Chain A
Amino acid sequence: MLSFSAESLEHSDINEKLRSTKEDCSVDGCCGQRFIAAGMSGKDITVSGIPGNALGAYLNGANITVLGNAQDAVGDTMNDGRIVVHGNIGDAAGYAMRGGRIYVRGNAGYRAGIHMKAYQDKYPVMIIGGKAGSFLGEYQAGGVIVVLNLDTPEDKIVGFFPCTGMHGGKMFLRSECENVIFPEQVTARPANEEDFQEIRNYLTEYCETFGLNLNDILSGPFTVVIPDSKNPYKRMYVPN
């Protein structure tokens, strides 16, 4: 286990240290250094302090645990691995990710899961324990996004314009979503047993990670959102 302080280190110094060993690593005292663990695989990395933007970008199999909050673009374009954030995350988390899991205990900012996509055996998963900001799952093309709203169930689970341009994948919102307005090209309906089967393993792992009770979580009403058509742009500009 390699432990070191990020204080007075540039992001390139931090990543060099992380790459210099095959052991698991622990970095503390981060304060805004970007790209931590970008592209890395084959180790567990624990981060404390505030990691900068694009934490775990292009992640390729490593497991990252952030003990506090993370900033924008967590897991940008990640391919594989797992990012666990015990606090909140900023905007555009999981931007264009095509594999791996992002588990957040707190809230997500705007545009979480923007343009997530699945590819062959790649299936990205994002679970947000709190609320999500506007434009959740914008242009979502694959994978699954789950929002649980565990802490403030009286608040709206998601901001404005969720699923704008969504044309693939699936979204689970732990709410009846009566006050959520979805765009025309998606269908929102109560989740059924078959839907839960798809996310059961991930939710179990999520609950183990954060010490939560799976049955409590599953007891809430869930709304599932899927795109209506494989071709959501049909007739958008010209009849085709």
Chain B
Amino acid sequence: MLKEGQIRIPSGCAISAIISRDGNRMTGEDIVKSMIPMHDRSNGLGGGFAGYGIYPEYKDFYALHIFFDSRTTRKDCEAFLKEYFEIVEAEIIPTRKMPEITDEPLIWRYFVAPFQSMLADMQLDEREYVARIVMKINTELSGTYCFSSGKNMGTFKAVGFPEDVGTFYKLEEYEGYSWMAHGRYPTNTPGWWGGAHPFTLLDFSIVHNGEISSYDANRRFIEMFGYKCTLQTDTEVITYIMDYLVRRQGLTLTEAANVIAAPFWSTIGREPDEETKKRLAYLRTVFPSLLVTGPFSIVLGFTGGIMALNDRLKLRSMVVGEKDDVVYVASEEAAIRAVEPDAENIWAPAGGEPVIVTVKEGAL
């Protein structure tokens, strides 16, 4: 069977996100519930979730979630991890046996801390170090796939419908201040667990509805900076682009949004505010290869917040709503209403208009 990375997969999909601006921790039940009305947007070949704030007892350690083909690959990987990290906890991620989810790999999580001596030796900051090792695992260790590597957050994904994936991973037992979800509708896929969304590197996670046409241009550029696109999916490349722009280049989220969903030159030309015009022109000129074209609606999760963004032509639907301190984003209003029937200020952001929601200062 051809796996992800050996075959190109266009996809349809549903996305959803829920975040408490007060930093209140919510179980994973609501995010799972929000996916149910959008069932028909997925076809059972991929569902996944990311929760932020779910590992407070290990918040200072990187949580690596890893799929293994076999016990042998797990042992090899553990030996590999021990060269780079102090492993403070290693455990099987709890799951339910259920007929809707089959052929599961071995699913483990490791809470780890980089060896300070190695960091000093390699002259790298901690996050870059972890990112490089995740890349090494995913390109060099066959039968092993690290799909989550942030602190105090975790991604849970599988082949199946999203609501079943949520039940499978017992998400009702986790509590986070922010959640995001994805239901996948790949049309040509062999279906593999690693290919489900979210795609996560460090604490950046992306769920994505769409099919970008600039994949190869984006990939060629981003691979110059050490990122390895192993899966041929557009979502993976968007995750790396956001990591590159925000973590490595130090752009703000709005600036990063203006790079990947840049306005047309004609629109920039008519921008009345000179400063804005200069900034938009500068970003398009410096990062032309990171313009992401084709349809997408994405939610980017990060520590303390989310950003929702549509492609500049808005070829995918996305609505935002709120109730008290909680903000909801979803492909369809029905998903929001399923969780919060009294949601207010329902609106559809314009194409290329980032919606950034952060937990208020001091709440975490």
Q: Residues of B contacting A50 with CB < 8 Å?
A: 332-334, 337
Query: Which 5 pairs from chain A and chain B are nearest by CB?
Result: A32-B334, A32-B37, A50-B334, A110-B314, A31-B334
Looking at B87-95, B142-150, B246-254, B344-352, the stretch in contact with chain A turns out to be: B344-352
> Any chain B CB within 8 A of the CB of A160?
yes
Contact present for B348 and A90 (CB under 8 Å): yes
Contact present for B333 and A69 (CB under 8 Å): yes
What is the predominant secondary structure among interface residues of chain A facing chain B?
loop
> Any chain B CB within 8 A of the CB of A72?
yes
Of residues 313 through 364 on chain B, the ones whose CB sits less than 8 Å from some CB of chain A are: 313-314, 317, 319, 332-335, 337-338, 346, 348, 350-351
Contact present for B314 and A32 (CB under 8 Å): no
A-B pairs with beta carbons under 8 Å apart, 30 shown: A31-B37, A31-B337, A32-B38, A32-B332, A32-B333, A32-B337, A32-B338, A49-B337, A50-B332, A50-B337, A52-B37, A52-B334, A53-B332, A69-B333, A71-B333, A71-B334, A72-B317, A88-B348, A90-B317, A90-B319, A91-B314, A91-B317, A109-B348, A133-B348, A133-B350, A134-B313, A134-B314, A134-B351, A159-B350, A160-B264
Q: Residues of A contacting B335 with CB < 8 Å?
A: 32
Contact present for B351 and A110 (CB under 8 Å): yes
Chain B residue nearest to A34 (CB atoms) is: B40
Cβ 8 A contact of B350, one of A34, A88, A90, A134: A134
A31 to B341, CA, bound (A): 10
Of residues 100 through 141 on chain A, the ones whose CB sits less than 8 Å from some CB of chain B are: 109-110, 133-135
> Any chain A CB within 8 A of the CB of B102?
no
Question: Per-position contact with B for A133-167: 1 when CB-CB < 8 Å, else 0?
Answer: 11100000000000000000000000110000000
Number of chain A residues whose Cβ lies closer than 8 Å to a Cβ of chain B? 23
Q: Residues of A contacting B350 with CB < 8 Å?
A: 133-134, 159
Q: Which of A30, A71, A90, A160 has the most CB of B within 10 A?
A: A160
State whether A109 and B317 are in contact (beta carbons under 8 Å apart), knowing that A32-B38, A133-B348 are contacts in the complex.
yes
Q: Could you list which residues of chain B lie within 8 angstroms of chain A, going by C-beta atoms?
A: 37-38, 40, 264, 267, 270, 313-314, 317, 319, 332-335, 337-338, 346, 348, 350-351
A34 to B331, CA, bound (A): 14
Q: Could you list which residues of chain A lie within 8 angstroms of chain B, going by C-beta atoms?
A: 30-34, 49-50, 52-53, 69, 71-72, 88, 90-91, 109-110, 133-135, 159-160, 181
A182 to B37, CA, bound (A): 38
Q: Closest CB of chain A to B334's CB: distance in Å?
A: 3
Contact present for B317 and A69 (CB under 8 Å): no
Chain A residue nearest to B330 (CB atoms) is: A32
Q: Residues of B contacting A90 with CB < 8 Å?
A: 317, 319, 333, 348
